[in-house]
Chains A and B, each alone.
Chain A
Amino acid sequence: MAVIEARGLTYTYPESKKPALVDVDLVVEEGEFVILTGPSGCGKTTLCRCLNGLIPHFYGGELRGELYVAGMNVKEHKTWELAQHVGLVFQNPENQLFSLTVEKDIAFGPENLGLPREEIRNRVDWALDRTGTTPLRYRAPYELSGGQQQRVAIASTLAMKPKVLVLDEPTSFLDPRGAQRIFETVNRLNKELGITIILVEHRLDLASVYADRVIVMNDGRIALDGTPKEVYLSGETEALGVGVVKVVKLYQLLEETGLRLRDVPISPKEASKLLREVLSP
């Protein structure tokens, strides 16, 4: 079942002439893990904001075309309604945590919904457990490292029990190890709970191994869409300024010099396995 369905989605920010999204058609099935990438200013963040109704309800502007998320027309449902189905995690962890304890922060969403206290407590426990942040429960968000903060931010959207989790460059303030842990956490949510993931990301080398699908945007449009291997092998990613996953590049270079691996590697681990096959007699 499609959990996100966009047809001819076009959006222009108020006081802007050039549309930020142009005629976007997109269908995402439930349980998919999608990486959304593209050069800066290509419309990735704008698309994320559409998915939970921040556009058009918070930003205004002109939204044309159709967008259904979890069966709801985004134009007709307010952000607080959509927020119960789509969680949005932002780039800067500092500005999405409000309270002085992690626990209270995770409770913020369910509290807004007016849920009974018992239910809130259960959701907080569950979200802490699922994101591996239980030891941080009584800490203050500002004392935590960027990676820990971002995992708390994920927990706090998770407490809304969303079907879809949208993460807008969640690792750009983090070091590689912190980023790796975010990807692992998100991957677990996807595989164990079946939550659909839309991950906006530039660190393709680290993230690609978890994804079912990679979408590259350019200039407000979807430029490439397919499995990671299809997209990276198409050779167009470099022209779009997204770069290319290093092990895929290695695969292509080896192929040029006449050494063909059995499959296209996406992670260094896969690459080393494939190389071993060729090298050992």
Chain B
Amino acid sequence: MSIFEGFVFRRIDTPIHRLDPRVKFLYTLVTLVLAILFNEFLALFVLFVGQLPLIWVARVQRSWARTMKGSLALVLLIFFTNLLTRWAYAGFRLHPVYLEESLAMTLRFLILVESFSIFSLTTSPDDLSLAMEQAGIPYWFCFAFTTSIRLMPAIARDAQTIVNAQRSRGLELERGNFLTRIKNYIPILVPLIVTTIRRSLELAEAMESRAWGATEKRTSLTQLEMGKTDYIATVFLLILLALAIYIRVSTRIPNLTSLIL
């Protein structure tokens, strides 16, 4: 579950946390576009390293590192799949360029994880929901969205309790071949689904008891307002995007292998 840890929000006060969620969403979007726009190792490397200072400014380096560690298995999978296909495609011959290209694809994935985790680590789901509401998305959808984020740790805790309970009754999870191992998880899954349904029913009861659905025109205690920094950040992101597109069109980025060899 450690890959999810990077996505759990904790409220602290940093310039990044204070940014409007819409600006941070734009940032994630721009990074996504940039990561797809370039496939050269050098460009992607700059993009990856360029985001690192944000993590320190937002003081989320520890949870971020844990997400990165959690995604290690996927990273290796992406790297070796890329390398193997290139190797096979070239008639089972290896060339340093393949290594560089595979690394670039892996970096692309890492950049996406990086920017998405910066977004979710520094954006309160409440604010996110508010941003969605102000964008005209129906409230029930926003509520379902934030609730699913909020319940993730609670359900993870339930799962741990059930695992402990079943283990204490002699259930062995790490036994047998792949298929038996999957089967071993059935005694975990069934109670987990039941408790989760029960939990959501209780939640629904509590919502009803607090006048859920009383009016179509729901009001909100807080409202998002774009400040000066938010506008500056937006302009900066747009300039960055334009610049990147310009570089893409006008320049050929050399590959590292040709620079070294």
Residue positions of A touching B, CB distance < 8 A: 49, 52, 54, 57-58, 79-81, 83-84, 87-88, 90, 92, 94-96, 98-101, 103-104, 107-117, 120-121, 124, 138, 140, 142, 156-157, 160
**Complex Cα–Cα for A160 and B208 (A):** 13
Query: Is the CB–CB distance between A90 and B218 below 8 Å?
Result: no
**Complex Cα–Cα for A113 and B214 (A):** 6
Take A94-B154, A108-B210, A138-B11 as given contacts and tell me if A114 and B217 are in contact as well, using a CB distance cutoff of 8 Å: yes
Query: Is the CB–CB distance between A54 and B219 below 8 Å?
Result: no
Q: How many residues of B contact A (CB 8 A)?
A: 33
Query: Is the CB–CB distance between A98 and B205 below 8 Å?
Result: no
Query: Is the CB–CB distance between B11 and A111 below 8 Å?
Result: no
Query: Is the CB–CB distance between B214 and A80 below 8 Å?
Result: yes
Query: Is the CB–CB distance between B219 and A98 below 8 Å?
Result: no
Instruction: List the A side residues contacting B154 at CB < 8 Å.
Output: 94, 142
**Complex Cα–Cα for A109 and B152 (A):** 23
CB-CB nearest in chain B for A58 = B208
Query: Is the CB–CB distance between B221 and A120 below 8 Å?
Result: yes
Cβ of B212 within 8 Å of any chain A Cβ, yes or no, is: yes
CB-CB nearest in chain A for B126 = A100
Cβ 8 A contact of B126, one of A58, A96, A104, A124: A104
Cβ of B181 within 8 Å of any chain A Cβ, yes or no, is: no
- Interface bits B89-110 vs A (CB < 8 Å: 1, else 0): 0000000000000000000000
**Complex Cα–Cα for A134 and B127 (A):** 21
Query: Is the CB–CB distance between B218 and A101 below 8 Å?
Result: no
Instruction: List the B side residues contacting A116 at CB < 8 Å.
Output: 219
Cβ of B215 within 8 Å of any chain A Cβ, yes or no, is: yes
Query: Is the CB–CB distance between B215 and A95 below 8 Å?
Result: no
Query: Is the CB–CB distance between B206 and A96 below 8 Å?
Result: yes
A-B contact pairs, 29 of them (CB 8 A): A54-B209, A57-B208, A58-B208, A79-B209, A79-B211, A80-B214, A81-B214, A83-B208, A90-B202, A90-B205, A92-B202, A95-B199, A95-B202, A96-B203, A98-B147, A98-B203, A101-B11, A103-B221, A107-B221, A109-B211, A110-B219, A111-B220, A112-B218, A114-B214, A117-B221, A117-B223, A121-B221, A140-B11, A157-B210
Query: Is the CB–CB distance between A100 and B9 below 8 Å?
Result: yes
Take A107-B221, A112-B214, A112-B218 as given contacts and tell me if A90 and B125 are in contact as well, using a CB distance cutoff of 8 Å: no
Query: Is the CB–CB distance between A88 and B209 below 8 Å?
Result: yes
Query: Is the CB–CB distance between B205 and A58 below 8 Å?
Result: yes
CB-CB nearest in chain B for A138 = B11
Central interface residue in A80, A84, A116, by most chain B CB within 10 Å:
A80
- Interface bits B126-149 vs A (CB < 8 Å: 1, else 0): 100000000000000001001100
Central interface residue in B146, B209, B213, B215, by most chain A CB within 10 Å:
B209
Instruction: List the B side residues contacting A110 at CB < 8 Å.
Output: 219, 221
Cβ of B189 within 8 Å of any chain A Cβ, yes or no, is: no
**Complex Cα–Cα for A110 and B153 (A):** 27
Take A114-B214, A157-B209 as given contacts and tell me if A100 and B125 are in contact as well, using a CB distance cutoff of 8 Å: yes
Query: Is the CB–CB distance between A142 and B153 below 8 Å?
Result: yes
Query: Is the CB–CB distance between A98 and B150 below 8 Å?
Result: yes
CB-CB nearest in chain A for B206 = A96
Instruction: List the A side residues contacting B204 at CB < 8 Å.
Output: 58
Cβ of B124 within 8 Å of any chain A Cβ, yes or no, is: yes
**Complex Cα–Cα for A116 and B220 (A):** 8
CB-CB nearest in chain A for B207 = A98
| B57, chain A: closest CB distance, angstroms | 22
CB-CB nearest in chain B for A88 = B209
Central interface residue in A88, A99, A160, by most chain B CB within 10 Å:
A99
Instruction: List the B side residues contacting A113 at CB < 8 Å.
Output: 211, 214-215
Instruction: List the B side residues contacting A100 at CB < 8 Å.
Output: 9, 11, 124-126, 146, 150
Instruction: List the A side residues contacting B126 at CB < 8 Å.
Output: 99-101, 104
| A153, chain B: closest CB distance, angstroms | 8
**Complex Cα–Cα for A142 and B219 (A):** 25
Query: Is the CB–CB distance between B211 and A96 below 8 Å?
Result: no
Besides the contacts A57-B208, A90-B209, A95-B206, what 19 more A-B pairs have beta carbons closer than 8 Å? A58-B208, A79-B208, A80-B214, A83-B210, A84-B211, A94-B154, A96-B203, A96-B206, A96-B209, A100-B11, A100-B124, A103-B221, A112-B212, A112-B215, A113-B211, A114-B219, A117-B219, A117-B223, A140-B11
**Complex Cα–Cα for A103 and B220 (A):** 12
